[in-house]
């Protein structure tokens, strides 16, 4: 487990935690919590939603079902 770096009271940050989304580069303070992927890659909720739209559009273009078989389109 990563060691905690000294941070203001109430904030738990780890030394390896960059504090920003690897995709849009916005801070976790701007976008909220970040999901951590392999090799210290982080993604914010906003980028997750954008990725879902991109994948859905590509599946629509190819005429295939999205992963998991669920469509986000209504």
> What's the pLDDT at 34?
93
CA 72 to each of CA 4, 33, 50, 63: distance values in angstroms, whole numbers, following the listed order: 38, 23, 12, 15
In a domain, 40, yes or no: yes
> How does pLDDT run along the chain (74 residues), one tens digit per residue?
344 444 454 455 555 567 899 999 999 889 889 999 998 899 999 999 999 999 999 999 999 998 776 555 54
Residue 31 contacts residue 46 (beta carbons within 8 Å): yes
Structural domain boundaries enclosing 48: 15-65
In a domain, 21, yes or no: yes
Q: What burial class does residue 34 get, using C-beta atoms within 10 Å of its C-beta: 0-12 exposed, 13-18 middle, 19+ buried?
A: buried
The total number of structural domains in the chain stands at: 1
In a domain, 37, yes or no: yes
Q: What is the pTM of this model?
A: 0.63
> What's the pLDDT at 55?
93
């Amino acid at each position: 487990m990563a060691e905690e770096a000294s941070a203001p009271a109430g904030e738990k940050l780890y030394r390896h935690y960059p504090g920003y989304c690897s995709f849009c580069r916005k801070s976790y303070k701007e976008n909220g919590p970040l999901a951590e992927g392999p090799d210290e890659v982080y993604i914010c909720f906003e980028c997750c939603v954008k990725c879902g739209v991109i994948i859905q559009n590509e599946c629509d273009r190819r005429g295939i079902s999205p992963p998991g078989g669920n469509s986000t389109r209504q």
